[in-house]
Amino acid sequence: MPQFMIVAHDGTDADAPARRLAARPAHFEGIKDIVAKGNLVCGGARLDDEGRMVGSFAICDFPSRAELDAWLARDPYSRQGVWKRIEVTPIRIAVSDGRVMP
């Protein structure tokens, strides 16, 4: 399956942290399915130098870019305006769970 690295950037306005916190429970509920299916390999929050959440990152393994884009579009962070810019890069995982995967 194609693998992707996602880097999502939150808004920089004064309300951005509150939007993230408001959408966070629905975001975590919404990723349960793709975690169970193995589509979301790892992910988390991007932090600034002060430790504040300013975005997200993920390593994903989806059957197609179209399916990845569909997930991104329905994620609460997208729908509720948390993520303002999303970068998607095709990748190939070479090391995972302490194993080299040539």
Condensed to tens digits (0 to 9), the pLDDT of residues 42-82 reads: 999 999 999 999 999 999 999 999 999 999 999 999 999 99
Sign, CA dihedral 26-18-42-69, equals positive
For the chain, the domains span 3-100
Condensed to tens digits (0 to 9), the pLDDT of residues 23-44 reads: 999 999 999 999 999 999 999 9
Q: Give the pLDDT score at 91.
A: 97
Instruction: Examine the pLDDT at 99 and tell me if it is beyond 80.
Output: yes
- Give the homologous superfamily in CATH for domain 3-100: Dimeric alpha+beta barrel (3.30.70.1060)
Q: Give the pLDDT score at 82.
A: 98
CA angle 20, 17, 32 (to 5 degrees): 20
